[in-house]
Amino acid sequence: MKLSSWQRRIQRAQELAGQHRFATEILGFYIHVARFQEELNTRMGAAFPRQTSEGHTELSAEELSRLSSRFEAFLSLAEEHGPKALAELSRDIRGRGDGFWAGLLNGAWIMHSPSDAQGFLALAFLQPYAELVRSRAGLKPRDVAHAVCPFCNRRPGFGVMRQMGDGASRSLVCSFCLAEWGFRRLVCPGCGEENDKKLPVFTADDFDYIRVECCESCKTYIKTVDLTKNGHAEPVVDELASAPLDLWVQERGYAKLQCNLMGM
């Protein structure tokens, strides 16, 4: 039986957790989140079988009602299984009630980038619905000149390298709806810098298939998962598991172009 995208991500998270002890906690939490996200995706797909709205417009009253009804369960999950700071935040939000949840979720849905931890928490909850809405829009991968999602206008969370002829092409992947679009390899998605001498790339032995692509001009970086070197990788999961690369590059003065939905 064909696995769903969430099932593939869960299997990969379990595999990487067994290989890298430093990633056990965050991947263990991610597994719980992914299971919840798959259930929410299925539930919302059944509730809105012909949904065609776009990912950057406000949620309808019915969408917001159905999403809010599941948000408390997500907060309880984060409170029970998440890192300490996230668990405390989830407990605080859970105590604020339906009205606050609705405002938080709708704000996160239309905002291009969260400004605080509770915004990232709301996006992690909303992500499976954003992926559902985007998949129904029939958006196909294509080359785009701008480094923002062609569907929901958010920044990319990571990149992907895929085989193309005798070489490889780079795509960017939206940090929210996971839309993928082609983007030139030797261009910084943060500022558009094209001078290759100002675009250093770093790798590490533990993750030799993940490129840390930096920019000396704007001092940002993005991680790109090279599927030509590791065809078993699930980019969402492998990018998350490679958190030590983030610590290493941030110590050298670079800031991540866009945090992933775990706030990392």
Q: What is the CA radius of gyration of the chain?
A: 18
Range 31-36 contact pairs with CB under 8 angstroms and sequence separation of 24 or more: 32/77, 32/81, 33/77, 33/78, 33/124, 33/262, 34/6, 34/9, 34/10, 35/6, 35/10, 36/73, 36/74, 36/77
Q: Please tell me the predicted confidence (pLDDT) of residue 261.
A: 67
pLDDT at 264 (0 to 100): 57
Q: Which helix (H) or strand (E) holds 204?
A: strand 201-204
Distances (CA, A) of 20 to 11, 24, 34, 73: 14, 7, 19, 29
Render 76-94 in DSSP notation, one character per residue. Answer: HHHHHHS-HHHHHHHHHHH
Locate the domains of the chain by residue range: 5-136, 156-256
pLDDT score of 262: 64
Q: Would you state the pLDDT for residue 52?
A: 53
Cβ-in-10-Å burial (0-12, 13-18, 19+) of 32 comes to middle
Provide the whole-model pTM: 0.92
Q: Which residues in the chain land under pLDDT 70?
A: 51-56, 115, 139-145, 261-264
